[in-house]
Amino acid sequence: MAGTNRAIDAVTGGPVIILVDPQMGENIGATARAMYNFGLVELRIVRPRDGWPNARAIANASGALEVIDRAQIFDCVPDAIGDLHHVFAATARPRDMVKEVVTPRGAAQHIRQYEAASLRSGVLLGGERAGLSNDDLVRAKTIITIPTNPSFASLNLAQAALLLAYEWFLLRDETPDSVVTDSETRPANGHEMDGLFVHLESELRASGFLYPPEKRPTMTRNIRNMLHRANLTEQDVRTLRGMIASLAQGRNDKSPA
């Protein structure tokens, strides 16, 4: 493997790369190789079509076995992102969602700032056939769009991962000394946000707000997007859940016996 020198300490760290419904082991391996070229080592895979471990992934990783060996497998996106404080999603297709949109360079700048505050980030990449679903995208706070030829915006998984990893790597000597943060709390992670969504949706169903039923999926996605844009902290989530519980209790107390 030309260009490989095991005597030199590797650059490691960076965001988690999460592959959602990848189909071919070759593409997973190529993604691992692209990640390790620029110091990314944490790969998570949601529902790999051909199972795991995968011999073709190992072969196409071309020596990036630290990434392959550490790869984690998940059954669903919420579990794969539950411990992350900020999730990005890469997509080339416009979606009917109001979210911050950044380039890979902009994403790298955000990620470096989060790292300076000891906060974890991840990037969702969709499968080869259909990319990310709207239900996956709604769980991301920020969309990454890679500038490409407008008439041919198709990138494979490894190309997308390489561009994102490269931009992160370039900023390795420009990490801010500090970022403004509240020492009493931190940004809510995926598990905490999911708990809030489930709690709120349950009470909205009970109150009759999510009506008519055929509009419920769009309404719940819009609510998730709205709360993600608020960049809630762990304390914010606790406060909101307390407010929801109080309102629900007040409604129940007024219910006829």
Identify the H or E element spanning 156: none
Q: How many residues does the chain have?
A: 257
Decide if 118 contacts 181 (C-beta within 8 A): no
Q: How confident is the model at residue 10 (pLDDT cuts 50, 70, 90)?
A: very low
CA neighbor of 120 nearest in space, from 64, 40, 195: 40
Q: What is the average pLDDT across 106-121? A: 93
CATH for the stretch 16-170: 3.40.1280.10
Q: Sort 203 into a burial class: Cβ within 10 Å, 0-12 / 13-18 / 19+.
A: middle
**What rounded mean pLDDT belongs to the chain?**
87
For domain 190-253, which CATH number applies: 3.40.50, 3.40.47, 1.10.8, 1.10.10? Answer: 1.10.8
Residue-wise pLDDT for 207-235, tens only, equals: 999 989 899 999 999 999 899 888 899 99
pLDDT for the residue numbered 8: 42
Helix H, strand E, coil C: the string for 35-77 is: HHHCCECCEEEECCCCCCCCHHHHHHCCCCHHHHHHCEEECCH
DSSP classification of residue 10: P
Q: What is the average pLDDT across 190-211? A: 93
CA neighbor of 159 nearest in space, from 24, 30, 26, 42: 30
pLDDT for the residue numbered 185: 82
Domain ranges of the chain: 16-170, 190-253
Output the pTM of the full model.
0.78
Whole-angstrom distance, CA of residue 126 vs CA of residue 97:
17
Whole-angstrom distance, CA of residue 39 vs CA of residue 42:
10
Among 11-20, 32-41, 79-88, the least confident range: 11-20
Residue-wise pLDDT for 39-87, tens only, equals: 999 999 999 999 999 999 999 999 999 999 999 999 999 999 999 999 9
